Amino acid sequence: MEICFASLPEILSEDLIVEKTFCITIDTEPDCDVHWKRSHPLSFESVLFGIPDILRPIWDLYNIKPVYFVSPEVINNEQCCQVLKNEIESGAEIGTHLHSEYIEPEMKYDEADGTVSSEFPCFAYSDDIELEKIKNLTVLIKQKLNIVPTSYRAARYGADLATIKSLEKLGYKVDSSVTPDINWSSVGGLDHSAAPKQPYFVNHENLYCPGSMKILEVPITISKKRLRFLPDKWPFYRWLRPSHMTVFEMKMVVNEFLVNFENPVLTMMFHSMEIIPGKSPFVRTKLGQKLSLHRLEKIIQYMIGKGFESKTLDMVYNETSAEKLRE
């Protein structure tokens, strides 16, 4: 059995890039309801209105360089593609977000309307089928947006070592599917609890150990449980996620990483529909929307005040690679 001590801060800090960095990543999908069921008929208010009218003014105010991980349903909508093209022109990065039910081969649903995406892509299909699904979505993004995505996030954080090897074959640079401290096995997913909390190039034999693969894993920023006695479930951990974390809790996460790592890379995530009332379980009212956006701005202000700079995952990859070459 391979022993890996890569989660120790003193080891990981050797691989960190020079500056304090935060990445804001958005899983960009159709509108849902409060039970995560896709809208019926399918709608994209969070993309068509939420991105240009709600998020873009915030990005411009604080010089944010967001990363949009786009699902198959979004990239098949021409109006959404126009919004994403505008975002690219404003400095955003577009990544690939595989909801495996909605793309060939072995596509589960011809129409996404009213469905629930429940698959962990790496477990729902063979490695070869998963590779083909990622490839088809990659090609679709290139055709629709005229860019080649180099960053990936699996639906439900369902990426294993075989996924990483597929990404390497397809020319990707970054995966951001790993959720340190979180074990999804009780709901059919992966156990990411042993993952390092900072970027690392993946090991050929172990997803959770640094190695020499070409894929840089940029984990989602997650910290300890909100309260020690709470159950071992994902909502009870502190995420850098303004939809359901308080500003105080997110500040605690930032400060913890500043203590444990010399120049930390922080990765915020939320879903596009989490900024629109009634389109996700998290923001159900206008007041909830206002509070969520307030938390988003407050934690951005706090990170900038602590010396962090907003970057895309592609920028993180390039700077980490350059730092490796200097070692």
pLDDT tens-digit map of 116-129: 999 999 999 999 99
pLDDT at 326: 62
- Residues in contact with 183: Cβ distance below 8 Å, sequence separation at least 6, in sequence order: 191, 192, 193, 232
Question: For residue 19, what pLDDT is reported?
Answer: 85
Residue 208 clears pLDDT 80, i.e. is over it: yes
Instruction: Please count the other Cβ atoms lying within 10 Å of the Cβ belonging to residue 172.
Output: 23
Res 296 pLDDT > 70: yes
Check: CB of residue 271 under 8 Å from CB of residue 34: no
301-309: average pLDDT: 98
The sign of the CA dihedral 289, 292, 294, 297 is: negative
Between CA 316 and CA 22 the distance in angstroms is 9
Domain ranges in the chain are 17-326
Q: Where are the beta strands (DSSP E) in 221-307?
A: 222-225, 237-239, 265-271
User: Is residue 198 predicted with pLDDT exceeding 90?
Assistant: yes
For 212-267, how does the pLDDT look when each residue is reduced to its tens digit (9 = 90+)?
999 999 999 999 999 989 999 999 999 999 999 999 999 999 999 999 999 999 99
Q: pTM of this prediction?
A: 0.94
Beta strands in 73-173 (DSSP E): 93-98, 151-154
Does 272 score more than 50 pLDDT? yes
Q: Which of 34-43, 188-197, 272-281, 316-325 has the lowest mean pLDDT?
A: 316-325
Given a cut of 80, is residue 327 above it in pLDDT? no
**106/129 Cα distance (integer angstroms):** 8
User: Cβ of 10: how many Cβ atoms within 10 Å?
Assistant: 10
Check if CATH label 3.20.20.370 holds for domain 17-326.
yes
